[in-house]
Amino acid sequence: MILVDVREPERIVEMLKSMGVELHKRRLSIADYVITHSSYSIAVERKDANDYLNSILDGRLFDQVYNLSKSYEVSFICIIGTPDFVRLKKEAFLGSLLSIALKTKGRVVPVQFENEFDFCLALKLLNRQVENGKVTAFPMLRKFKVEDSIAMLTAIPGIGVEKARRLLNRFGSVYNIVNASIADLMKVEGIGEKQAKRIYNFVRGRTVR
């Protein structure tokens, strides 16, 4: 069963109904959809691509991410469409996706869909898995190999393999780097204030200049 917030667009509600999905409208305080069966629930926040960008720019996104991570064991932020990269650089968009997954240790998972039909189909399939008992517990995130962590860090502008290794040696994991302050980042050899700010802003989905 899927609970859907009463403020969700009727076109999406009708599309889900046409797929045979059982829906119940509710006023939801957190998330737009809650897939629930027995005592297990998964939350889903739906965002049009440009609304997602707006939520980064005005600071709403990470408040929503925090509320989701504290309220549900697992939740999804579903982004529909292609963002307008004139308003926000693609690297900042990608950085925000990494930041969500890393800062919540996988409790909030960002997923991008091409259109609303694909989003509705994904909701239907997830609902089916929950109802069939196939989703009863989520495995712990696998431990990244050093090479995987370095590859992720080199996506940050200005960070090459050597600086990525220094960051890992200092902080021990990508998660700790994401949560480090600018002052802490500046303690890494070869990283000054300007670059520390670039790293800090990138992993928070902010525009990097």
- pLDDT value for 124: 93
Per residue in 135-154, pLDDT tens? 654 433 344 567 767 777 77
Supply the DSSP string of the chain, one letter for each residue: -EEEETTS-HHHHHHHHHTT--EEEE--SS-SEEEEETTEEEEEEEEEHHHHHHHHHTSHHHHHHHHHHHH-SSEEEEEES---TTTS-HHHHHHHHHHHHHHTTTSEEEEEESSHHHHHHHHHHHHHHHHTTS-S-PPPPPPPPHHHHHHHHTTSTT--HHHHHHHHHHHSSHHHHHT--HHHHTTSTT--HHHHHHHHHHTTT----
Domain map (residue ranges) of the chain = 2-131, 146-202
Instruction: Residues 146-202: name the CATH superfamily.
Output: 5' to 3' exonuclease, C-terminal subdomain (1.10.150.20)
Q: Supply the pLDDT for residue 141.
A: 39
The mean pLDDT of 31-56, rounded to a whole number, is: 87
pLDDT in tens, 13-23: 999 999 999 89
CATH of domain 2-131: 3.40.50.10130
Of the listed ranges 6-15, 113-122, 137-146, the least confidently predicted one is 137-146
